[in-house]
Amino acid sequence: MNKITEQLLRAVSGLSGVFRGAYNIREDGRCAGRQSTEHIHIESKTDQPGLVIHIQPGTMGETVYIPACVTSGGIDDLVYNDFYIGAGADVVIVAGCGVHTENGEQARHNGIHRFFLEQGAHVLYQEKHIGTGSGAGARVIDPVTEATLESDARLEMDTIQISGVDHTFRKTSAVLKDRARLVIRERIMTDGQETARTSFEVRLNGIDSGVDLVSRSVARGHSHQAYYSRIIGENRCTGHSECDAILAEQGTVEASPTLLAAHADASLIHEAAIGKIAGEQILKLRTLGLTEQQAEQKIIEGFLK
Amino acid sequence: MLELKHLRWSLPDGAEIIRDVSVDIPDQKLVVVTGPNGGGKTTLARLIAGVQTPDSGQILLDGEDITGLDVTQRANKGIAYGFQQPVRFKGLTVRDLLELAAGEKLDEPTVCELLGKVGLCAQEYMDRQMDAALSGGESKRVEIATVLARRAKLSVFDEPEAGIDLWSFSKLVETFQELHRSQNGTLLIISHQERILSIADEIIVIADGTVRASGPRAEILPVLLQGEWAARCPWGKETVCDE
């Protein structure tokens, strides 16, 4: 691993020392380290770049790390990772990504992740994205996530884009069977001329399936963000989506939620709020002794926490 | 001591809300400001906290002219202010807000103590977000707790009883009494509640933007309780009681 990878790994995976348990580190399109465990097997795909990760049924309390780093401009990394989570397993998947460029050329990572959760499986998926380096080369991350949740499965996605990613287009889609549950917490911060698009399509196919999708974003500088969501209720189900955005300086945000109730017992809700930080919020924190800048920073930190 | 000297403040349309208010708030006293709605009490509190700036007049804290200081600077001089309408934050937890108020990380017993003083169970509320999931009364009590966490020289509470249930209000009155006994600071409470008026050292009556009366509780409270308060203002012009 080179030093930039080490720095990026610290930022996106909280790495200090070595990973414990199953992991695969991807550096500039190549494997920079891998370990399987008794219950989690990581193998390379043979037909395309990427991994197949098998988590045995009933695996409990284990974590698998699959960070990816692009450490220089001129690299366009594309990877296809498939996760098969066995019935009744309860695991954490940490999948951060960092892109770095200083040579004026674009650095891009495009991770296409497919999740197959068997009956009753539970996955907490954590993902941090960051861009670093100077120069005119764009830092681009375009993740695609496709999930299939069998009955009683639960997938919690906790994703955050910290800073420095010039462009991102996030696509997330999922199909939920009976009583399956999808919880998404997405946070995106953009600044300068950065752009971020995020798109969700969730198909609530099974009876009593449910999705709770919350996207929070902060658009600073002259950055622009766009949020699209489409929740389709095909059975008795519950769907909730919420898009909250804070605008700072000249940042702009558009939100375009769609709800499609294709069943009489589908219960779907959307909430959206876009605007600047409320003056009263700044004022309140100033009465606690913070400056206006400190107050704004605290409000944003809390919002994206 | 806080000294207000000839304070004036008007709305942008010229309507004068505070008209030549001069009053002294002595140290270590519990002072209650009361008077009819729309009389200027909240504006006065906001002028003291620096949330609004007077058009003219002076505000002195311990002899130092703080009129030109902004809200942050006044907070750092030892003035704490509890809003009448609590402010909500998505993402910030009750604990976050208390720690910001205290200016330091707080251990769990301290958070428990602060929330307990406003009648909230710490275990239940500590990690709750300060957003719409909290009821108005719950938010108000957290708002009051942030002022308590400041341990300020001068704590200003704007209608702390508003939106609070009877049981919590009783607890709040006890908390004010305890604070008054145990702290060195001064409490300035804007209130209409007789129970809060009855624990005051001094009472200031504000109506129509002016101080209509001020003095020891024993002197002011009996007049306030004559029973005609809602019908007309006993301190002067009947028009001041118009909402």
The verdict on A240 and A129 lying in the same domain is no
Residue B227 banded pLDDT, cuts 50, 70, 90: low
The verdict on A137 and A170 lying in the same domain is no
Counted across chains A and B, CB pairs separated by less than 8 A come out at: 59
- The answer to whether residue A150 is domain-embedded is no
The verdict on A193 and A246 lying in the same domain is yes
- The answer to whether residue A161 is domain-embedded is no
The C-alpha of B87 sits at a distance from chain A's nearest C-alpha, in angstroms, of 6
- CB-based contacts of B168, cutoff 8 Å, min separation 6: B118, B119, B137, B141
The verdict on A171 and A111 lying in the same domain is no
- For chain A, 305 residues long, give each residue's pLDDT as a single digit of tens: 788 888 888 888 877 667 789 999 999 999 989 999 999 999 999 999 999 999 999 999 999 999 999 999 999 999 999 999 999 999 999 999 999 999 889 999 999 999 999 999 999 999 999 999 988 899 999 999 999 999 999 999 999 998 899 999 999 999 999 999 999 999 999 999 999 999 999 999 999 999 999 999 999 999 999 999 999 999 999 999 999 999 999 999 999 999 999 999 999 999 999 999 999 999 999 999 999 999 999 999 999 98
Q: Is the pLDDT of residue B236 over 80?
A: no
Burial class (CB in 10 A: 0-12, 13-18, 19+), A108: buried
- The answer to whether residue A146 is domain-embedded is no
- The answer to whether residue A160 is domain-embedded is no
The verdict on A13 and A60 lying in the same domain is yes
- The answer to whether residue A222 is domain-embedded is yes
What is the ipTM metric for this complex? Answer: 0.90
The residue ranking higher by pLDDT, B169 or B16, is B16
The verdict on A200 and A262 lying in the same domain is yes
What secondary structure letter does DSSP report for A100? E
Q: What distance in Å separates the CA atoms of residue A135 and residue B229, rounded to the nearest whole number?
A: 71
User: Structural domain of residue A136, as residue ranges?
Assistant: 1-141
- The answer to whether residue A148 is domain-embedded is no
Q: Choose the closest CB to A302 out of B75, B85, B89.
A: B89
Nearest residue in B to A284, CA atom: B87
- The answer to whether residue A301 is domain-embedded is yes
Select from A84, A108, A141 the last residue of a domain: A141
User: Structural domain of residue B107, as residue ranges?
Assistant: 2-241
Q: What distance in Å separates the CA atoms of residue A118 and residue A111, rounded to the nearest whole number?
A: 22
A17 lies within 8 A of chain B by CB: no
The verdict on A176 and A136 lying in the same domain is no
Contacts of A281 in chain B (CB under 8 A): 87, 89
Nearest one of A259, A203, A213, A202 to A234, comparing CA atoms = A203
Nearest one of A276, A274, A301, A275 to A290, comparing CA atoms = A301
The verdict on A192 and A285 lying in the same domain is yes
The verdict on A85 and A201 lying in the same domain is no
Nearest one of B177, B192, B187 to B224, comparing CA atoms = B192
The C-alpha of A244 sits at a distance from chain B's nearest C-alpha, in angstroms, of 9
Nearest residue in B to A283, CA atom: B51
Q: What distance in Å separates the CA atoms of residue A35 and residue A53, rounded to the nearest whole number?
A: 11
What secondary structure letter does DSSP report for A277? P
Q: Is the full-model pTM beyond 0.90?
A: no
- List all residues of chain A from 181 to 240 with a beta carbon under 8 Å from chain B: 216
The C-alpha of A297 sits at a distance from chain B's nearest C-alpha, in angstroms, of 12
What are A40-79's pLDDT values in tens digits? 999 999 999 999 999 999 999 999 999 999 999 999 999 9
Q: What distance in Å separates the CA atoms of residue B32 and residue B200, rounded to the nearest whole number?
A: 6
Contacts of A279 in chain B (CB under 8 A): none
- Using CA of residue B231, residue B237, residue B241, residue B243, what is the dihedral sign? positive
CATH number of the domain encompassing residue B65: 3.40.50.300
Indicate the helix (H) or strand (E) that contains A161.
Answer: strand A154-163
Number of domains comprising chain B: 1
Select from A125, A141, A157 the last residue of a domain: A141
The verdict on A65 and A111 lying in the same domain is yes
Q: Choose the closest CB to A291 out of B49, B72, B150.
A: B72
Q: State whether A299 and B92 contact (CB < 8 Å).
A: yes
Q: What distance in Å separates the CA atoms of residue B93 and residue B139, rounded to the nearest whole number?
A: 11
What are B154-198's pLDDT values in tens digits? 999 999 988 888 888 888 899 899 888 886 789 999 998 999 999
Phi, psi for residue B220 in degrees, rounded to 5: -90, -40
Q: Choose the closest CB to B72 out of A244, A290, A305.
A: A290
Number of domains comprising chain A: 2
- List all residues of chain A from 284 to 303 with a beta carbon under 8 Å from chain B: 284-292, 298-299, 301-303
- The answer to whether residue A276 is domain-embedded is yes
The verdict on A180 and A301 lying in the same domain is yes
| Phi-psi category of residue A133: left, alpha or beta, with phi > 0 → left and psi -120 to 50 → alpha | left
Find how far residue A233's CA is from the centre of its chain.
23
CB atoms within 10 A of CB A74: 14
The verdict on A191 and A268 lying in the same domain is yes
